[in-house]
Amino acid sequence: MIGLISATAAGSAGCRRVASAWPGRTRVYEGPVGDAVRRAFAECEQLVCFLATGAVVRLVAPLLIDKASDPGIVCVDEGGRFAVSLVGGHGGGANELAREVGELLGAEPVVTTATDSVGVPGLDTLGLPVEGDVAGVSRAMLDGEPVALNAELAWPLPPLRVAETGAYSIRVSDVAVEPAEREVVLRPPSLVVGVGASKGAPVDEVLGLIEDALRDAGLSVKSVAELATVDAKAEEPGILGAAERLGVPVVTYGAEELAAVDVPNPSDAPLAAVGTPSVAEAAALLRGGELLVPKRKSAASPAMATCAVVRRPGRGRLAVVGLGPGARDLLTPRAKDELRRASVLVGLDQYVDQIRDLLLPGTRILESGLGAEEERARTAVAEARLGQAVALIGSGDAGVYAMASPALAEASDDIDVVGVPGVTAALAAGAILGAPLGHDHVSISLSDLHTPWEIIERRVRAAAEADLVVTFYNPRSRGRDWQLPKALTILAGHRKPTTPVGVVRNASRPDESSRVTTLAGLDPATVDMMTVVTVGNTATREIAGRMVTPRGYRWQEEPK
């Protein structure tokens, strides 16, 4: 919950705006400011104070305990010009909250955390438990001193300023070791603990068994990703309680699934009880990995719990990112986050140039020219299979005439794939033209590089007969100058010569141009590959210079 506090009319207006935008996330605190701040500090994970920073500093100073547990605090000035991350930039999420509040209110986020200010990922913001000399290693990275990365496990990490050797080091490990001097240990969630339990098994017995098994194997409890068991035990209090104390989820599988897993220590007891000869080992091994701790029983007599531990290899991550039509403000926040999360960026050189300034220092860039789509897709998937965090970029939406299709055709289930939608050229052009896509519509590429012309022509005819608004991508190039006239001729057989046609070149870019003409008046020679052509249906009209397709076929009145 985010506590909202203000003292003036302007501050109250800001509170109302935030509360209205985030009704499920916020709570407005009324009354004397000092009391409001103290109550919000005790009850909320984060605070947004529409107060002077000096006043907030004096109010919260006696309340601060530890940066790992204190709430994140953001201050917004009286004029609503700045959103200042004051306390808990990383641990309390105040840096990100300042950015969110700034975007909502039109204020400038002010973040003074050193790593955030220079674009270096904070070691305590990577989503992994971290131990050791976080401050010292972070300072070394900021100062440009060599920091070695010792990855005992391949894990998808954002770009870090690291070297092969150095006086400081970052270790990625699930082994229970104490960090050395000048070392940070990152704990990846690589361990799966399979658990079996008799009905009524105590939480302490289940948890003690797990902790003993990990300790004896020299493994860190902080790297446990989940507890896995049979679905018949999904509500077993001992298992649920152990998972809650460890802060991990419980994943369950059907008995038939578990029975199909080859395990070293099958038993008749679980077969009779839940229908599978193994619960702990089978549940841990079901999704692959290395068995580090074979089935072992708890020390109680009689033993009411069993467990097994498996190390799963780190899975690479491929984000297929749509950059939108070109304008920076049409690049989505999610796309920006994925670009900054990736340690490897793969893309067309001209698209890389568009977003190069958004990349974190150390991002490895693999760029190529036009016509190498399949090569880029293979490269991105191969890098992800090496355990990297990869972003594969394309214009518009990555799934529309872009990189998602070739990438997913190459990818198998050994990597994680995330799709990040973007604003398509058709949508950007439609917004410029007015509302041409107000009813059913279709997009058709006139490039026969990947699709035979016979198929393209059949699709154009179908769209013409169905009275769909048609947006043509790749309408005309120097080597393809007859396809657009042919397509327009097909449409003209089903629509009036006066049917509105919108032509937009370089939508959303500095040299954007657009015009509305008619089916009879469009000169194909004025169109090139940077142009999107939108042909209306029989109901589309030009109104005040804008192209409008009604949501239904009932129009107020035919023009006289």
Residue 555, pLDDT above cutoff 60? no
Element of type H or E holding 46: strand 46-50
Within 300-452, residue ranges assigned H as helices are 333-341, 349-355, 373-385, 404-410, 425-433
**What mean pLDDT comes out for the span 93-121?**
78
Beta bridge partners of 72: 46
CA distance 314 to 390: 14
Which pLDDT belongs to residue 301? 87
Task: Tell me the pLDDT tens digit for each residue of 387-418.
Answer: 889 999 999 999 998 899 999 999 988 899 99
Residue 560, pLDDT above cutoff 50? no
Task: Tell me the pLDDT tens digit for each residue of 444-497.
Answer: 999 988 899 999 999 999 999 999 999 999 999 888 889 999 999 999 999 999
What are the CA-CA distances from residue 437 to residues 429, 433, 478, 522 (Å)?
A: 10, 10, 29, 19
Task: Tell me the pLDDT tens digit for each residue of 138-175.
Answer: 888 877 788 888 888 888 888 777 777 888 889 999 99
Which pLDDT belongs to residue 33? 87
Residue 87, pLDDT above cutoff 50? yes
Residue 91, pLDDT above cutoff 80? no
Residue with token string 């999360």? 341
What are the CA-CA distances from residue 523 to residues 132, 145, 361, 435, 477 (Å)?
A: 68, 61, 47, 22, 14
Residue with token string 């896509």? 437
- Indicate the DSSP class of residue 128: S
CA distance 300 to 500: 81
- Percent of the chain's residues with pLDDT above 70: 97
DSSP-assigned states of every residue in 248-285? --EEEE-HHHHHTS--SS--HHHHHHHS-S-SHHHHHH
Which pLDDT belongs to residue 119? 58
**What mean pLDDT comes out for the span 228-257?**
94
Residue 21, pLDDT above cutoff 70? yes
For the chain, give me the number of helices (H) and strands (E)? Answer: 18, 28
Beta bridge partners of 391: 319, 345
Which pLDDT belongs to residue 115? 56
Q: Say whether 459 sits in a helix, a strand or coil.
A: helix
Which pLDDT belongs to residue 94? 86
Which pLDDT belongs to residue 271? 83
- Percent of the chain's residues with pLDDT above 90: 57
**What mean pLDDT comes out for the span 69-78?**
88
Tell me if the pTM is above 0.85: no
Residue 231, Cβ neighbours under 10 Å: how many?
15
